[in-house]
Structures are given as structure tokens and as C-alpha cells.
Amino acid sequence: MCGIVGFIGKRQAAPILLDGLSKLEYRGYDSAGLAVRDGEELAQVVKAKGRLSNLIEKTDGGKALKGTCGIGHTRWATHGEPSQTNAHPHVSGNCTRSGSGTVESEVVGVHNGIIENYTELKEKLLKHGYTFYSQTDTEVVIKLVDYYYKKYNLGPIDAIAKTMVRVRGSYALELMFRDYPGEIWVARKDSPMIIGIADGETYVASDVPAILKYTRNVYYIGNLEFARLVPGEAHFYDLNGDEIEKQTTEIKWDAEAAEKGGFEHFMMKEIHEQPKAVQDTLNSVIKDGAIDLSSVEITEDEIKNFEQIYIVACGSAWHVGMAAQYVLEDIVDIPVRVELASEFRYRKMPLNQKALVIVVSQSGETADTLAALRLAKEKGIITMAIVNVVGSSIAREADKVFYTLAGPEISVATTKAYSAQLAAMYCLAVQFAKVRGKITEEQYSYYISELLTLPEKMQKALEDKERIQWFAAKYANSHDVFFVGRGIDYAVGLEGSLKLKEISYIHSEAYAAGELKHGTISLIEQGTLVIGVLTQNELYEKTISNMLECKSRGAYLMGLTTYGKYEIEDQVNFTVYVPKMDEHFIGSLAVIPLQLLGYYVSVAKGLDVDKPRNLAKSVTVE
């Protein structure tokens, strides 16, 4: 949520800041702003409500703001309504203007995250003569920095350290001080932030795509650390103000991977990138016909000793866990619990000390998932992260890391990251089953050969998109859609339902098909769309029977099954087929038509596919 950028170097800062913010639009925002300094001149602050295009127009593409040092922000409203006044950057002076211009203020800054004790801090500052022009917690923290800066008169290091100790909550903070031209100061707790260096210039961003075209060499600022940035250099400090040595990390992503590449939307591009994302992820651990988890740093002894697996995640990553649960329990013969991270972190349930906790997150910064990981570590339980971003908070803190190789995912609605996570889970399941003696060598080889066919079969599943586009246009005005299935099909339905609702704004729910008669079938009326996922042979007839009960009450049926089950066409109104493969792994194929359905419904309704309302790509606050 929210986006932060910063630049200090030899070139005009504002166009670079705007370009960086444009790469972070997928994160979700309601307003945007810049603060730019030209040498010792005071900071110029420009803010605009709504889309980034409004800020671009207001600044003439950045040309109107002179200066080689600046910070920028796209805001997701938490404290205070979306408005120009509440937009960042905020200033420490008692400014009542909500527009633009030169600001006489000691401290100018932007912030991602939530300051939990901002009310208490605001009362303190009011007593010391500060007044407030916005409703934001960010203005409070900027003025707190100003308070400590003036009170102790020891410079930015001391002021920032004292602020970090005093503040509760999460933050990625970016500051400029009037007395320190040509410097940007940053601080971090729980919210992501990276710093890039190239050719005597320094960049700041809350996510990689913002700076990928400028540099691939980045520093990851650690939790409760802060830094002083000057052109081409970054100096890091701990809470004691002592300098810390850090090494840069090279980002492997290609800059072109963060562009649309001829597709109308990032989501469609990323749907088509799924075969490669899965292939790259599989190839990272499958070597010479065997699965090698040495890169994950998990040993066979550890695998043999686990008595329980907990999978903890949010959103689509939780759906990955739901599908993986069926696979793990079946072929590994181990109890698996799938937990929502937002619930897991607050539940008081007993945890098996001989368990493995697997946390799943594309960004590696999901707030609830990170908190759940820390809880598991506090209890002394081995943790493994399945993440897509090298150096992310979850990747750094987990005991074991399985990196998915999906590349940058820009669309808010995840597709290729979901598929890569599912592929990683399959590899864990097959290898755990072999190590624990639950499958034979023949079964092991068979499962691996099946996994290696996934990319080709996913490509085949993408070929039916014209029929899905026609069907989506027909049902774009639906008010209610229900997805039904059993076992893995139910888990796939959960993800299909989420894809539809989050980008098309149609009310959509997924149900275990056997639960329809326990209340849900009362919602079926004439013309209601019911989508059945039917890829599990043992459960096929039961699910069809449940769907026909809906049809007899007026529902229109769409069936999603494998090639060869053509008798389904006599029972449902519209059928979509995917290639046959082992039923443990077929969810990776079945989800593709459902992704396409959600995409085409959104397009038919004329909606913003990549940036749906009220949603953000990475949920970094509670």
C-alpha cells in the first residue's frame, strides 16, 4: 500500500520521481505528491488528489519543479479522507495550504505505514505549540521529528533515532531537512523500502519496479534502521546512531518485465507469463530428474521429523495453501492446517513444536503474514517462506526460503505469482513424500515428469480464451456468481471467485459443493451463474449432482473439466476444458480459465483491470 520514491543526483529529480511513482500505481492510491529541493533553496511541495496524471499535469511532467533532490509519494488513505490536504508530502511547519509552492519548514517528509500511537503523540505536540492542518498520522510523525530536531539540536541522526524509539506502528519514512541540502534521510520499521545506487546517483523506492530501469544494485534497509543518502552513497545507522556496513544486492529481474510488452493490461500479460513462471520455479529445484531442496536449506532429517504443517497466508496465497493442503495430506500423509495470517497471529491455539510453518507471500512484506512468521519463530517453530522478492522482510526473517521465480507482478490481481507458489508447494509435497517413505521411486519419477509437463499444458489452457471472452461478455452484468467444487476443485473455485469479485466488482462466492443444501442454495434464482470445477474423478459425479440441483432452480451452469469428459455438455450450459494431467497438480490448469473469465468480465464492464478500486498490491498494514 502507498508508494515511496526518492532521488538525489545530477539530473532534475521531479521527472524521475514521477516515473518511479508511475511504476508503483499498482500498489493502490488516492492522491500523490512531490517535494523537490534545488540546492539550498527551500523545498517546493506539489500535491494532487486522484490519479497520478493529475500531479503530472500540475507539474508539467515534472519540468516545473527545479532541483536534483526530491521525494515523492502515492497515498492510500488510512487516517483522513482522500484529499489534497491529506496527501503527502507533509511539512513540520504550521502550513494550512493544501496546494503547492515553496514551503518554509524544517522537515518535509512522506510515510508508508500506520502510526498506532499518533493520537498520544499529537496531544504531546499540541502542548508544545504545534498545530495541524491535516487528519493524517504522517503529519504527526513529521512534526515529531521536527520537535526532537529542535529540542536537542544534535542533527538528523539524533532526531530520527529518538522518533523511531517513540513511535509505535509501522513505517517507511523519507525526510528532507532544511539545514541539510543535498541529503535525503530514510527510516524503516516493518514497511518495505529499498535504496539503489548507480552512476553517482541514489534512488529510494518502496518496491523494485520504481527503480529497475535505473539500477539493479540495491540496499535493503533493515528493520529499525535509518540512513543518510547523498549522491551515489548511502550510510546506514542503528538506533544508537552507530554506522552499519551493508552490501548491495543485485536484482535479477529484467527491466522490461515491469512493462506491458504489447498487452493491453498487465494482468493479461501476467496470465500469459504463467507457463514461464512455473517452468522457472520448477527448474530452480528439479535437477536431473530429482528435486533438490538444498537452496531452501532444509535437510532430510528435518523433513522426517515434522509432525504437522501449518500454511499461513492471506488472499490468493491462502488459496494456494488450501490447494496444497489436499496434495500434502494425500501424498505426504501429514496433518496440514491452512490458516489466515490475520487470524493466526491473534489466536491462542496450541502449536505443535515439531511442526513446520510455511508462510506464503508474493511481496514478502504482507503485514499479517510477517507478524505470523514472527509469532511462529518466537515459539521456536521452524519456519519456511515461499516468496517472490529476494531480500524482502519475510525472506530475511524465515529459517528457510523457497523463492518463486515469477518476476515482477504489477497487476493487483495476482496470477503468475499464485501459479509459481502452487508449483513450489507441489515440489515440497513430492520431495517430502519421498523422504518420508510415502511414495515409491516409480511414483516419485512419475510425479516429477508430470510436473515438468505443467508449463506446456498451461500454454494449451490459454488457447481457449476467445470462447471465454464471448462467455464473459454475456455474463458481465451478473449480480451474483457462485463457484462450486470439492477437494482441490473447491480450492481452485476460491481463487476463481476472488479473481472475479476483485476486478469486476460482481458479488461472487465459492462453496464446497456438498454445502450448497446447507443454506446457500436458497440464493439461487432464475439466471444465476453457477460455475462448477470438475477435475477430480472421484468427486465428479457428486459435484455434477449438486450443480443440477441448482439448474433445476433456474441457474445457468458453466462446467470446467478435463478433455475427454464430453458428456458434461448434456448437463451444463457452457463447458470449458483443460488438458488432462495428474489430479494432484491439475489446479494449476483449472485456474487459468477462471483468471481469464475475471479479466474479460472486467474489460467488458470498462473497469480498470490492473488497479481495481479500494485494493492494493501489497498489504503492508493491518
Domains of the chain listed by start with CATH number: 3-257 (3.60.20.10), 260-452 (3.40.50.10490), 463-608 (3.40.50.10490)
Residue range 90-95: average pLDDT?
A: 78
pTM: 0.74
Residue that wins the pLDDT comparison between 614 and 223: 223
pLDDT tens-digit readout, 379-420? 999 999 999 988 888 999 999 999 999 988 888 899 999 999
pLDDT at res. 462: 93
- The answer to whether residue 527 scores a pLDDT higher than 50 is yes
Q: How far apart are CA 556 and CA 218, in angstroms?
A: 52
Residue range 606-619: average pLDDT?
A: 75
DSSP string for residues in 527-580? T-EEEEEE--HHHHHHHHHHHHHHHTTT-EEEEEEETT-GGGGGTSSEEEEE--
- The answer to whether residue 436 scores a pLDDT higher than 70 is yes
When the pLDDT of each residue in the chain is averaged and rounded to a whole number, the result is: 90
pLDDT tens-digit readout, 192-217? 889 999 999 999 998 888 888 899 88
Rounded to 5 degrees, φ, ψ at 483 are -105, 135
- The answer to whether residue 136 scores a pLDDT higher than 50 is yes
Quick one: DSSP state of residue 392? -
Which residues lie closer than 8 Å to 381 by C-beta, 6 or more apart?
Answer: 351, 352, 353, 355, 356, 357
pLDDT at res. 255: 59
Q: How far is CA 203 from CA 26, 349, 443, 473, in A?
A: 19, 44, 50, 44
pLDDT at res. 613: 79
Amino acid at 462: L
Residue range 249-260: average pLDDT?
A: 70
Residue that wins the pLDDT comparison between 114 and 320: 320
- The answer to whether residue 99 scores a pLDDT higher than 60 is no
Q: How far is CA 183 from CA 3, 121, 206, in A?
A: 20, 26, 18
- The answer to whether residue 620 scores a pLDDT higher than 60 is no
pLDDT bucket at 98, cuts 50 / 70 / 90: very low
- The answer to whether residue 618 scores a pLDDT higher than 70 is no
Residue that wins the pLDDT comparison between 548 and 581: 581
Q: How far apart are CA 125 and CA 205, in angstroms?
A: 29
pLDDT tens-digit readout, 310-338? 999 999 999 999 999 999 999 999 999 99
Rounded to 5 degrees, φ, ψ at 12 are -65, 130
Active site residues: 2, 617
